[in-house]
Structure 1
Amino acid sequence: MLRFAIGVIRRFADLPPHTILGMPSLSPTMTTGTMVKWLKKEGDKVSPGDIMFEVETDKATLGYEVQDQVFVAKILAQAGSPPMPLGAPIAILVDKADRISAFKDYTSDSGAIKSSEPVKKPIQEEPKHDENVRMSPAAHHMIDEYHLDTKNIHASGPRGLILKEDVLAFIENSKSPKETQKKPEEIKTPEKKTSQDTGKNYISSIRAPRFSVTSNVNLEEAIKFVGKDNIRAFIIKAAVASCKIVPEANSKFFNEFTRYYDYVDLQVSLYEKTLKKYFLKDSQGKRIEEIKEAFQKEGTGQANFAVSFSSEGNEIATPDVSALLSVGPEFLKVVKSGEAFKSQKFATCTLNCDHRAVDGAVGANWLKTFKGFVENPTSLL
C-alpha cells in the first residue's frame, strides 16, 4: 500500500489499484495551497527522496518529498491553478508502471472522488501569553502547557527570543510556584551515542517527512567583500549566523523530543568529482581565516547543522541533522543595476528540513535571514 500524508486508496471496478493524492499540509497554519510547478510529469517514476512538485503556502514555496517509489499516472491539478483546500485531489499515483495507461482518459468527474472540502481546523483557545512575544517552539509548548506568564520570564535568546532554558530557569527560581508551574521532567540527550543509537537516528531521519525551501542568492557583493577564494567560508559564516538568529532551525529530532542548540557544530560536504567532508566544532564566532583552515583536514563529527557545496548541483545528504543547506554551482544572471543591466553571479541555495523538528515558516525565515547576510555582507560585521 502506498503511504502519503493525505491520500486515499480507491479501487473502482474498471480501474486498477491506485492512490489519489490530496493537497498536503506543508505548514502548521496552511489551509490552502497553490500548485507552482510539477517536477515530474505523467508516466514518470518517482523514487523516495524525490521532490514531486512545489506548492505555494501561506508561508513560502515548499517542495513535496515522496517517501515511497510510485509512478505518476495522472496530474489533476495543473501548475498555476487557483488555490486548493487541503485534501483536494491533485494527482493519481500507482505502484506499477503497467497500470499508468488505465488513467489516460481519466478526469476528476469520471472517478468516484470529488474535490475535497477545506479541512476544518479545531478552534483554538486564546493564548495565555502576549502574541507579540517571541519564543522557541519548545518554550512555547512549555509556556502553554504550564500556563506561565511570559512577562516574568527573562529572554536570553537573540532579539528577545525566549528559549526553553529560560522557561526552566523561571520555574526553578520561583520560590512558591503554583501547582501548574511545577518544573517538568527534562529529557537529557546523552553526550555520546552508541553505534546502535546513531543507526536508529539515521534510519529514522532518512524516512522522516522532509521539505525544502529554495532561493537564488546573489553572490556579487559577497565576492567583492571577501574575494572569490573566500566565498565558501563566507557562506558558512552566514549560515552559522543565521542559526543564531533563527535557532529553531538549529535542532535535532530524537524519538520523543526535539533538542535545540545554542552552538553550531557544523558538517561541511564538498563535492567536486569526489566527495570530501569537513567538521567544524563550535563554528559560531569563527573568523573566515579560521573556517578556511578547517578545509585543510577532512573529518566528520556529531553535527547539529550541515552545509553542502556541489559543483554539479546535486544535494549531498546528511540525514542526522534537522536542516541541511545545499549550495549549488555559481551561474550568471542578468539583473538591472541602476539604469543598466549587468550579469551577476548567483547560486541556488536550498534548505532541506526534517518536518518533525522544523516547520515551513522556520525554514523560510532561516533562508531569508541567510540570503540577507550573503547579499548584504557588511551586516555580518
Structure 2
Amino acid sequence: MPKISSRNISLSLRCSRNGLQLTSVPRIALPITFIRAASTSRLTPLFGISNHCINRFQQIQNNNKQSYRLYSSGLPEHRMIQMPALSPTMEHGTIVKWHKAEGDEVEEGDLICEIETDKSVMAFEASEEGVLAKILAPDGTKGIKIGKPICVFVDKKEDCAAFANFKVDDAKYETTIEASRTTENYPEHVQLGFPALSPSMKTGKLVKWHKQVGDKIIEGDLLCEIETDKSVMAFESIEDGFLAKIIILEGTQNIKIGEPLCVICENKDDISAFSNYVPNKATTKVHPTVTTTVTRPPVLATAFHTSSETITSSVASSKTSIPPISLHFKSTTFTAPFRVMKSEANHAISTISIPNIRKLSTNPPNEPKYKDIPLTTMRETIAKRLSFSKQTIPHYYLTSEIKMDELLKMRTKLNADLKDQGVKVSINDFVVKACALACMNVPEVNSFFMEKEKVIRQNLTVDISVAVKTETGLITPIVHNADVKNLTEISTEIKQLAEKAHKNKLKPNEYMGGTFTVSNLGMFGSIHHFTAIINPPQSCILAVGGSERKAVPDDDGNGFKAITTMLVTMSCDHRVVDGAVGAVWLRHFKEYMEKPETMLLDSKKK
C-alpha cells in the first residue's frame, strides 16, 4: 500500500478512478489534495491581463481543481467547498444558480452551480463524488470572496441531517483585496497583500524574498517564494515600480490571506518615505442585494359590448374620469331623448352582466415609466474596460470594400466536398484565417501597447479573438495559432467555442487573451458597416459588415455586371499602428479574401 507523509503524519492511500484517496482519516483537521488530470493549454491575456498573472492562475488550476477540507469537529466527516478562483483577476463571485439541491448525490464532473465572475458566468463542476449536505450561499448571493465556503459535502446521505443548522464563521474567511491602493500621507504606491496561491489555502509561510528594498521591479518579476498548503510556489509581481517596504520577513509562518506583504512605489526617490510605513488593512465590503417590488394599481374595467343601436357618452364627476362607455339604446330608459344622467348611466352599468365586460389597459399617473436592471459583474467589467479604451486609446478607422465572388464560389465548392464530414465553412471562418495571415505579414498590427513598460510588445503567435453575443453579455473566445490552422479546423473550433459560450462552459484559456479581434455584425443581415472599440492591450479590431449585391461596369465594355461586396472597417491604436501600416495590413487582408486560394498556399506568407 503506498504511503505519503508530511510533518510526521503518515496516511495510507488507495488508487481509484478519482486519483489517490485516504483509506483511513486521522482525527485532525488536515488538507487533502485529490490528484486529477489537468489541462496544460496556454493561457494568454484578455483586456490587459498580464502573462505572468495567467501563468500563476494556470498553476493554481493545474494543481488545485477544487477546494476540499476534512474536519473532525463533532459533526460527521465532511468537506467544505470554497468559492473558487475561476479567473486570474477574480476577487469575489456571485452564485447565479444551484443545479444541485441539498440531499442530492453528486458524481465527479456533475455541474454543481453557475458562478458569475468578473468575466462571465461559468460552470463549477464537482471533482469528486459525494452528497450535497448544505448550501451555505443560496442563489443570488453576491460578493462571495475567494476561499469562502459555499457548500458542504458528505459521503453518506444519512449524514445530511446533521448539517441542517450548520453555519460557518464568516470572520475566519475575511480576506482583503490583493493589491489595495493607499494615499494616506505617502507618495503614490501599491500595497500588495499576501496572495491565495491555491483555492484551499488559508495561511502560508514566506520562504524567501528574491527582491530587496530599493530593487526595480517589472510586472512578472519573481518577488518571493511562498509555502502553501500544497507546495512552495513562486509569487510574481502584478505591478511595476520599486520595492519600497518589506512588511513580512523571511521565515514568517501562518500568514493569513490578505495580510499586507510589501509596498511598491512608482518613483525610486520615494523609497525613503516608506521606512516607517504603517500597513493599511482595510477590507472589501460586501454590498447586500436590494430587491424592489412595484405594486400596480387595479385596472379599470369600463368598455362594454355594443351594437348598431347604442348611445356613447363620456360620464365625468369632479373626482373621477370614466372613459367613454357604450349602452344599448333599446334596453335602457333615459330622462330625455338626447341627454343621459350620471345616475342613469350608473344604473345601466350595474345591470350589465360581468362576462360582457372587456378590460382595457390603462396607465395610471403613478405607475412607473421604466424599470432598473442591476448591473451584472460581467456588464460592469465590459463598461469599465470599453470606456477605458475609448477614453485612452487614440482610435482611427480604415474602411475597405472586399469583392466576395471568388470566395463565395470556393466556399460553395468546399462545403460540397466537406458535406460527408459534417463541416460547413462560413464566411467568418475565411475572415479569421485572412486576419491571421495578414497579421503575419504585418506584425505591427499583432502587437500590444505596454504603457508602464514603455514598450510595444510584438506577439510572435496570432491568437484571434472572435466576438460572441451571449445572454449574459459579450465574450471573445479565442482561436489560438489561427495562422497555422486550416479552414476546417478554424470552422470546427469556432462552432465549439460559440456553443460553449452560450452554455457558459468556456474555460479561462478559451476566452482570456487574444492578439487581434474580429467582430462580425454582418451575419445579422441588417448591418452595412460599423466601427468597433479596441480591446486593450490589443492594437486593432476588425468590424465586418454584411455582404450585398451591386452593379458595376463590366470590364469588357458590354454594360454592367452584378457583384457581391462586403465592407470591413479596422479600428487602430495610433500609438502602435500608423495609418500607412494599417493600410498595408488591409491590402493583404483584401488580397487573401479576393483570392482565397492564396490562404491555402502559404499559411505563413511573409
- TM-score by structure 2 length? 0.29
- TM-score by structure 1 length? 0.45
Higher relative contact order (CA 8 A, sep 6+): 1
Larger Rg: 1 or 2?
2
Q: Which has the higher helix share?
A: 1
